């Protein structure tokens, strides 16, 4: 087998090696079952044990209150952009805090379902900053307030949730989900597509307060109704069985190898500091995109003063076993996604490569 490289992709992204090895061992036949998880019926007691364990792990790690439902859905965050307003808008309007590409897309999709207001828009500065609390123009009668806690492309991350004064807060946490402890009780809903920080592509985790689940209109298509999906315990139709199985293994790893969310957060902070220290000490050779008070711990976009050396940087990084570092076209330069499963050794190697590259070209 070819030696594994360090994968800094924004998603689908790196998975823990221990998880991949366990899935590899059991792919032909789950222990005690005799068939692959790829073949197992979602109606079987064996798969029920898998999805129950996945939910139990999530509830334990994130300390989810009993009055919140956990749903394993499909369609990614992009489906949630429309499903949320479809279920929650009613005859009201919703407020959107637009801090990057994904919250902008979410607002655009929500407009197809009803009335939407932009409570703050950071596009004038290419989404390099976050609003101050007094800059957010909220409607006290809104159906909900929506924000993206970590913008994958621009690398801006909220250090804490915005205050909504009782209006339900909805959070797309796709590229930071489970990176640190979170007080779920402050939210009406937190959701995430798994393929960035806690699993493979195919499953979307939705954690939603029961009163919001029950607010789903009765005239929705069943698979687009939170209430009907909750009543069916995420199995109204065939769920993404393999993706849920891997999510279960990832949460096993968080519990038993990492040791919980506090330790996960400490590791993530250390990894991010390694890269930001290189950027800050480079005297302008490397330039970060996000302002310092809202830098993402998960996604680190950066560039050089000119793009002349970009191709050489990417090629040299690949030779050093560091891949998927090209930045998004809207930001340029490079982006290192250092999600939960990225080992600290990978970040150390990237930091060393960045320093060596800088010394070579200064």
Q: Give the catalytic positions in this structure.
A: 102, 172, 196
Nearest CA to 154 out of 305, 335, 345 is that of: 335
What span, in angstroms and rounded, lies between the C-alpha atoms of 60 and 168?
Answer: 23
Helices 241-253 and 45-62: crossing angle in degrees, nearest 10, is: 40
- DSSP states of 93-156: EEEEEE-SHHHHHHHHHHTTTSEEEEEEE-GGGTT-S---GGG----TT-S-EEEESEETTTTE
Between the alpha carbon of residue 221 and those of residues 138, 217, 218, the distances in Å are 31, 10, 9
Structure tokens at 128: 């390099």
DSSP alpha helix (H) spans, 151-203: none
Using DSSP bridges, classify how beta strands 93-98 and 145-148 pair: parallel, antiparallel or unpaired: parallel
Tell me whether strands 299-304 and 115-121 are parallel, antiparallel or unpaired. Answer: unpaired
> Cβ atoms within 10 A of the Cβ of 291, count?
12
- CA-nearest of 6, 64, 11, 19 to 258 is 19
Sign of the alpha-carbon dihedral angle for 82, 86, 91, 92: negative
Residue with tokens 């008070």: 293
Token representation of residue 196: 């960035």
């Amino acid at each position: 087998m070819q030696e594994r490289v360090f994968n800094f992709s924004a998603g689908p992204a790196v998975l823990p090696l221990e998880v991949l090895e366990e899935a590899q061992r059991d792919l032909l036949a789950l222990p005690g079952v005799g068939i692959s998880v790829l073949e197992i019926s979602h109606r079987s007691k064996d798969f029920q044990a898998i999805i129950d364990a996945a939910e139990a792990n999530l509830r334990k790690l994130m300390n989810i209150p009993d009055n919140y439902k956990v749903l394993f859905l499909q369609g990614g965050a992009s489906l949630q952009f429309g499903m949320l307003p479809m279920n929650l808008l009613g005859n009201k309007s919703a407020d959107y805090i637009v801090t990057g590409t994904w919250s902008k897309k979410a607002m655009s999709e929500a407009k197809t379902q009803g009335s939407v207001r932009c409570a703050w828009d950071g596009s004038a500065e290419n989404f390099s900053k976050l609003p101050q609390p007094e800059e957010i123009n909220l409607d006290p009668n809104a159906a909900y307030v929506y924000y993206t806690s970590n913008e994958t492309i621009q690398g801006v991350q909220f250090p804490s949730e915005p205050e909504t004064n009782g209006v339900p807060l909805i959070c797309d946490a796709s590229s930071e989900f489970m990176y640190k402890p979170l007080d779920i009780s402050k939210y009406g809903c937190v959701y995430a597509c798994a393929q960035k920080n806690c699993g493979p592509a195919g499953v979307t985790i939705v954690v939603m307060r029961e009163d919001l689940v029950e607010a789903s209109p009765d005239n929705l298509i069943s698979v687009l109704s939170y209430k009907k999906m909750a009543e069916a315990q995420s199995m109204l139709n065939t769920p993404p069985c393999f993706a849920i199985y891997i999510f279960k293994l990832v949460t096993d790893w968080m519990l038993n190898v990492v040791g919980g969310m506090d330790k996960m957060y400490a590791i993530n902070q250390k990894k991010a500091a390694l890269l930001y220290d290189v950027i800050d000490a480079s005297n302008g050779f490397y330039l970060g995109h996000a302002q310092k008070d809202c830098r993402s711990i998960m996604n680190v976009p950066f560039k050089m003063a000119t793009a002349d050396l970009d191709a050489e940087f990417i090629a040299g990084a690949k030779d050093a076993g560091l891949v998927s570092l090209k930045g998004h076209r809207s930001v340029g330069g490079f982006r290192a996604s250092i999600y939960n499963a990225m080992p600290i050794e990978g970040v150390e190697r990237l930091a060393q490569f960045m320093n060596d590259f800088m010394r070579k070209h200064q």
